[in-house]
Structure 1
Amino acid sequence: MTAAQTSFHSLPGSDSVEPASAVTARMWPMHMVGQQGQPVRVFLADDDCHIRRVIAQDLMSDVRTLLVGQAGSLREARKNICLQEFDVLMVDLNLGDGEGMELLDLVRETLPQVLSIVVSVTERDDKVFQAFDKGAVGYLLKNSWFGDYSQAVLQVANGGASITPSLAKKMLSRLDKTYATYEKSAPCQQDEKLSEREVEILKLIACGYNSPEIASHLKISTLTVATHVKNIYRKLQAHTRAHAVRAATLRGIL
């Protein structure tokens, strides 16, 4: 549902109405990231002013997300990113004066706590996997994205991944072939072992727990959980939680 399609619900005992996003926010579980008064902060970099406006309206219409900055070029983004505090970067891969991949590198190296979502028209396999290799946890195709942007932000902020369904299907098909090849060669490979804590976290992920729930269960910070998850991804050569669980299963870790 886009900002232009915002629906309204009647308030009990009143003739007035409130936006559906406000109703959803009131029902949002307290343990989830993105509460009223503490929204997920987003920085947006896209050279298409129309797309920026659409995304901005969607984010600002939901009290659980907040757009704190935006840029229309690589140069502007590099300059302003360092001046803002934010939780999620939404970035196009083509910024006119450069590539969004540079911003993924910048965020990964200088702001490791920030999560990145690519919003692009590009669906080339090499670009998609390169983006995930550079730390992206979401990839939305502009031409086929039919969800809402605030939901994508909330999904990654709470330990998930947000990928356009058609693209996810293609990625899984390719990964199935990759894992089939790995399964045959795995016994001959010497892999970096997961620590006891990483295995513990991976088991909780396999049971469906998100990052805040894992942090609460283990009595550690969500940032510490995020660091462990990144190490798990690196050691298992995985890009998403589902892929990490599957890779661990194939290796006999789970």
Structure 2
Amino acid sequence: MAPIAAGGVPWPDFLTGQPDQPVRVLLVDDDPHIRRVIAQELLGDPRVLLVGQASSLREGKRLVALHAFDVMLVDLNLGDGTGFQLIEFMKHTHPVAEAVVVSAMEDEEHAIHAFELGATGYLIKNSWFGNFAQAVLQVVNGGASVTPNLARRLLRRLESSGPAGRHKGSARAGARGVGPDALSTREREILRFVAIGHTSGEIGVRLGISTQTVNCHVKNVYRKLQVRTRAQAVSLASMHGLLY
């Protein structure tokens, strides 16, 4: 029988984050109130374990260096530096860990830069309608977590680089060796689902294929686009008009 998560929601036993082996999280934010709110949500879910908190770039680097963890929640403004710097440091020392930005800055450029650095989530303070523990679980299970209003703007941006902007995007792609036909129709289809935050399991259900097949297509996308994360794949494909 599947374990019951916080709020009485069944959590399938094949997903990462079980009460006996919770997802380990670091929280880095210079706002003590926001940090307290997020920490309370994380502590209230048995699928998640909050292993450390920090309020600055220096303290964040110390936590990253000292702890084993799976996901880092990080603000972009850290007083003595930026969350971008901490994401870069984290990806260098813990390349398989996930980073989720929690920020007051909701413009697309900040979000895209975070994704390019390897983040798999971008949540806007005071505009996030979900649960922070759920966001953590979503990214650690292969999905992405983006505040809905920002996700909508990013989708519009993807649309603007679709059929109408494909020629321009293809020209930029040539500089990196990525041509207009670099991805197959199925790979583009899967990448569009990835762009709006679906996990491999959800994509498999929608397309009638196995999760393993979805992951195989995603790996092929990584290889063809020469990227290492889903966020980087979506960002590069968007800029090059490869999603349509």
Contact 1:161 1:240 in 2 (8 A): no
Q: Does 1:148 align with 2:131?
A: yes
Aligned residue for 1:135?
A: 118
Q: In structure 2, list runs of 5 or more residues that go unmatched.
A: none
Runs of 4+ displaced beyond 2 Å: 178-182, 184-193, 201-209, 211-218, 224-250
Q: TM-score, normalised by structure 2?
A: 0.75
- C-alpha distance 129-60 of structure 1, shift in aligned 2 (>3 A): same
SS at match of 2:142: coil
Aligned residue for 1:9?
A: none
Select which of 182, 185, 210 maps to 2:200: 210
Aligned residue for 1:111?
A: 94
Residue 235 of structure 1, CA deviation:
5.4
Contact 2:161 2:169 in 1 (8 A): no
Aligned residue for 2:8?
A: 23
C-alpha distance after superposition, 1:10-37 (max 9, x if no partner): xxxxxxxxx971622xx21111111121
Q: Partners in 1 of 2:86 and 2:17 — Cα distance?
A: 24
Contact 2:76 2:102 in 1 (8 A): yes
Contact 2:30 2:55 in 1 (8 A): yes
Aligned residue for 1:48?
A: 31
Question: How do 1:70-109 residues align onto structure 2 when only pairs under 5 Å count?
Answer: 70-109=53-92
Aligned residue for 2:162?
A: 179
Residue 46 of structure 1, CA deviation:
0.2
Q: Partners in 2 of 1:187 and 1:131 — Cα distance?
A: 23
Residue 174 of structure 1, CA deviation:
1.6
Contact 2:5 2:47 in 1 (8 A): no
Structure (1 or 2) with the larger CA radius of gyration: 1
C-alpha distance after superposition, 1:55-102 (max 9, x if no partner): 111011111111111101111111121100000010000011111110
- C-alpha distance 236-176 of structure 1, shift in aligned 2 (>3 A): farther
Contact 1:59 1:65 in 2 (8 A): yes
Corresponding residue pairs, total: 223
SS at match of 2:161: helix
SS at match of 2:231: coil
What's the Cα RMSD here? 3.8
